[in-house]
Structure 1
Amino acid sequence: MEHLNLIVTVLGGLILLLGLVSKRLEAGPIPPSVLALALGVLIGPQGIGLIDLAAIGQPERILEGAARLTLGIGLVGVALRVPRGFPRRHWGEMTVLILLAMALMWAVSTALVYLILGLPFWVAALIGAIVTATDPIAATPIASGQLAEANVPERIRNAVSFESGANDGLSYLFVFLPFLLLTRPQHEALSHWVTHTLLWEVGAATVFGLLLGYVAGKALQLAERHGTIEQKWRLAYTVALALFAVGAGRLIKTDELLIVFAAGAAFVQVVSGEDRANEEQGQEALNRFFSIPFFALFGMVIPWGEWAKLGWSGVLLAVAILLLRRPLPMLLLKPVLPSIRSRADALFTGWFGPIAVAAVYYATLMDHKLGDPLVWPVVSLVVFASALAHGISASPLTRLYGRHARGKTAESEDSAS
């Protein structure tokens, strides 16, 4: 209990300190997530040893629970960010962006793991699937906030938000296919993947999430019409929706991440933009409240020894995945994505495909389900590299992209006149 109190004290103090300078951090070169990660490394067992999660349980399982809760809260916040009617108006583009782009990212990541580390193909495919998802929480700096709104077009911000939310849940399909093929005979694995993973764990999860969000939205409207709910309960209502979806998803053994995002997306279609303005701001605050401790916890459990065993091959893999996994598919798919109107759009959205909380969740889940000694070290190294590269580059590249976009707009107006 004393160790737990120490963890709560340190994490609470971290949020207090970062909150006091949050405005400067948003405009500065080092984001709060990187500072939290650095603090976690410093106070963890490989640093000064102030906190060791092993004293209260298995570190990877603790991190899995933290990632699950952080994603549950964050995915509802992402859904609230997407304008009402956006999925309906852009369903074709979002289908391409989510399914085809994900398949290409999986193929690229799998090939890189297989070629650089020389792992068995299906182990490489499993790791490639885990790092495929675009993390919605780590993508927040380019999708919301003053800096993003001033420099990134709304069409890009909405596309990134919806895609990152949806593909976290759909990564379940890509992750469990190689997992099943590694643990069962091929015919049995494929049959289970189609009948159970695809139809129940993903298909039923989507339907359940949509119904849950729709019913929750209608119930809220009904309560407001009859004056039975106080305004101060609105934020608590959306948070409770996230927690209910996460818990229910695990109880019925489906993809809880997909349930959460589907519920949030359906809730948005029912509740008007004016009604959910305060909830969106509140959810963004909660995202930060949960994501900062998560990155600190991640810093505490980094497997430095296993990274050292990977050697320069691990470093090469992390760099190659960041440079190729998403930028290449975005450039290839640019002609069929209306929101991506230029090479600059494709490069910007291609680079900012951070690998963070969702990858940690799937990696820790597979770590205890499969027990392969390389899954967690490889994925955690890529997550660490992504946190540094995408975190530090977010502000300067967003400003650069904004200047480029404004320059192109000015050139077009001069040409028209």
Structure 2
Amino acid sequence: MIGKDYLNIIVTLLGGLVVLLALPSKKLEKSPVPATLVALVLGILIGPEFLDLIDLGELGNKSKILESTARLVLGIGLVGVALRIPKAYPRQNWRQMTLLVGAGMVLMWVISTALIYLILGTSFWLSALIGAIITPTDPIAASPIVTGPVAKKNLPDRIRHAISFESGANDGLSYLFIFLPLLVITLTPGLAMEKWLKHTLLWEMLGATAFGLLLGFVAGKLLRLAERHDMVQEEWRLVYTVALSLLAVGAGKLIKSDEVLVVFAAGAAFVQVISAEEQGEEEKGQEAVNRFFSYPIFALLGTEIPWSGWFELGWKGVLLAVAVLLLRRPPVLLLLKPFLPALYTKKDALFLGWFGPIAVAAIYYASLAEHKLKEPLIWDVVSLVICASVVACGVSSTPLSKLYGKVTGYREAREKEDVK
């Protein structure tokens, strides 16, 4: 099954997966078994260890294929995140979001690195690399947590917007933390630091931000100009935002910059230019496209689980996955709570601390790092942590959202508001 026929088999299976998930989508939205987890399980079943219907190795380098696929899914998802955040939110909350994304990421990176180093006994810089890969909150896996009727009924906007903004911003920022150990491993320390400061920080991060902001601003202005002259058909609005996602991803890669940061910056700038009404309409369409692309990536993750690598990790791998879920994020949010006005109580901090899923962004960065270093341990560890996070956050999303709404009184207040 090699060549065109094999590619068609993959397209057929992934398309069929989305069709199957669409049919019971309302039930899955309210159930403790989310669509992302179903996609992961189905991916495992059709993978090489079971039914052997999909094996990315048949199409070429598996890490490169996963890297490219995850990059595309991230690009589309990040513009959707930007459209979801109210226009005034970044201006009104920039101080606490800077603290959450900046100091929060550093602390989570340090904790993740220490856990990997102590539990697995890997070298410091390899531990730092893997720790950086699993640090950022994933915008794709976070979307079902903060969207839909269950989230809107039980979670206040300040919590949903905080998760959305952080998951969008820290994916691009994590590039800094990932490439420092990656450069140290591949170059001499002096040359690595020089390249990290001059190229990674100045061009791949700051340059990417500036380029993305400019791209989104120009795209937004052009859309407004075309609309003032009644040139844009209604159905082209969705096409426009999806095209902006692809334009930003491709252009970011072509200029050899951090394309993840380019996409989010472009989406954030685009939102500042368009009207609130347009933002709401385009968010719905972008979210639909986001889901269409996101479920296949979880299925592909299931097909590429390194079972032998997991068995070699043994109990240390299980211990690490549990430790990362419990210690990487909740303690950091409790520590930062006094400085984050959006978190009124410890319940807020614990909820935000628990729901920092690790998923598509980690797939992208792990595939990139494995491809560059030819080190299978990276994918063994990261894929295990990703799957643990998808299961833990996915299964607990609906029950904990409902529990939060009940114990904080938000759901009751929202129901009274709806009655009025």
Matches within 5 A, 1:41-80: 41-80=44-83
Q: Give the CA deviation at 1:256.
A: 0.1
Instruction: Decide which of 145, 159, 163 is 2:162's aligned counterpart.
Output: 159
Distance in 2 (alpha carbons) for counterparts of 1:106 and 1:244:
30
Distance in 1 (alpha carbons) for counterparts of 2:281 and 2:88:
19
Distance in 1 (alpha carbons) for counterparts of 2:53 and 2:205:
41
Answer yes or no: is the 8 Å Cα contact 2:78–2:263 preserved in 1. yes
Q: Secondary structure at the match of 1:276?
A: helix
Q: Secondary structure at the match of 2:277?
A: coil
Matched with 1:390 is: 393
TM-score normalised by length of structure 1: 0.97
Q: Secondary structure at the match of 2:409?
A: helix
Q: Which runs of 5+ in 2 are unaligned?
A: 414-420
Distance in 2 (alpha carbons) for counterparts of 1:189 and 1:379:
24
Instruction: Decide which of 289, 292, 300 is 2:292's aligned counterpart.
Output: 289
Matched with 2:101 is: 98
Answer yes or no: is the 8 Å Cα contact 2:87–2:271 preserved in 1. yes
Identity %: 62
Instruction: Decide which of 117, 133, 136 is 1:133's aligned counterpart.
Output: 136
Alignment CA distance shift 1:153-1:407 (3 Å): closer
Stretch moving more, 377-386 or 365-374: 365-374
The one-letter code matched in structure 1 to 2:92 is R
Distance in 1 (alpha carbons) for counterparts of 2:67 and 2:269:
27
Q: Secondary structure at the match of 1:321?
A: helix
Answer yes or no: is the 8 Å Cα contact 1:80–1:280 preserved in 2. yes
Answering whether residue 251 of structure 2 is matched by residue 248 of structure 1, we say yes
Q: Give the CA deviation at 1:60.
A: 2.0
Instruction: Decide which of 326, 332, 346 is 1:343's aligned counterpart.
Output: 346
Answer yes or no: is the 8 Å Cα contact 2:172–2:258 preserved in 1. yes
Distance in 2 (alpha carbons) for counterparts of 1:275 and 1:291:
24
Q: Secondary structure at the match of 1:368?
A: helix
Matches within 5 A, 1:14-413: 14-406=17-409
Partner deviation per Cα, 1:342-400 (whole Å, 9 max, x = no partner):
10000000000000000010000000111223111100110011111111111111111
Q: Secondary structure at the match of 1:138?
A: helix
Answer yes or no: is the 8 Å Cα contact 2:156–2:410 preserved in 1. no
Answer yes or no: is the 8 Å Cα contact 1:216–1:267 preserved in 2. yes
Answer yes or no: is the 8 Å Cα contact 1:142–1:152 preserved in 2. no
Answer yes or no: is the 8 Å Cα contact 2:154–2:410 preserved in 1. no
Answer yes or no: is the 8 Å Cα contact 2:405–2:411 preserved in 1. no
Moved over 6 A (4+): 407-410
Alignment CA distance shift 1:263-1:407 (3 Å): closer
How big is the alpha-carbon RMSD for the aligned residues of Structure 1 and Structure 2?
Answer: 1.1
Answer yes or no: is the 8 Å Cα contact 1:44–1:51 preserved in 2. yes
Alignment CA distance shift 1:407-1:147 (3 Å): closer
Q: Give the CA deviation at 1:232.
A: 1.0
Paired residues, number: 410
